[in-house]
Amino acid sequence: MTDDLGPLRQAMSDLSEHGGTADMYERALLKSRQVQRRRAVTTGAVAAAVVFAIGGTVAFAARHRPDPPTPPASTHTSDGRQNSSCPSTQTLGILVELPAGWSFASRAVECVETWAAADVRRPDASGVIYLFHYTAGTGWRFHDQGTGWDCQELGLTGPASFCTS
């Protein structure tokens, strides 16, 4: 029993020449590239939107922020009372930890412009001065300890007892 499949094969061959081939691989690659491009564009757009949203929020907040507090002006008023914006020794004591046996002197803190100086007593009976600086936004901060500083280097225009020149 033999089958004569020659004419069937010939017919199928003729049909395949006219119909072409179905190339699924090329279409799959094309679709994959389209999806990658869409994801890249979407990710970029979302990132740009987030940056603009954060930047807009920061700009809005910065524009509606209250003015910074004014720094302290001077040491003492003309009648001898201390300026209310000048910190007390208790306030300055929170900013620094004095070594054992050291203490702030009973004399008031001297404030000149944005600087404050407090006398510190040591066990050997010698004294040293702690210098503090005021910055808007951060407040009073410890600057240095010593016996005197150059007023010009500190940016002071008025006289101060803690300045050597």
Domain that holds residue 36: 9-63
CA distance 109 to 117: 6
> What are 63's two structure tokens?
């524009």
CA distance 25 to 33: 13
Angstrom distances, CA of residue 159 to CA of 74, 144, 164, 165: 10, 19, 10, 9
Residues 123 and 149 in one domain: yes
Residue 82 confidence class, pLDDT cut points 50, 70, 90: very low
Q: Is pLDDT above 60 for 105?
A: yes
For the chain, the domain total comes to 2
Coil, strand or helix at 34 = helix
CA distance 121 to 129: 9
Q: Which pLDDT value is given to residue 80? A: 38
Give per-residue pLDDT as tens, 134-160.
988 888 888 888 888 888 888 888 788
CA distance 142 to 155: 17
Judge contact between 109 and 134, C-beta under 8 A.
no
Q: Which pLDDT value is given to residue 40? A: 93
Residues 51 and 106 in one domain: no
Judge contact between 108 and 162, C-beta under 8 A.
no
Residues 105 and 132 in one domain: yes
Within a domain: 3 = no
Average pLDDT over residues 70-95: 60
> What are 112's two structure tokens?
């000149």
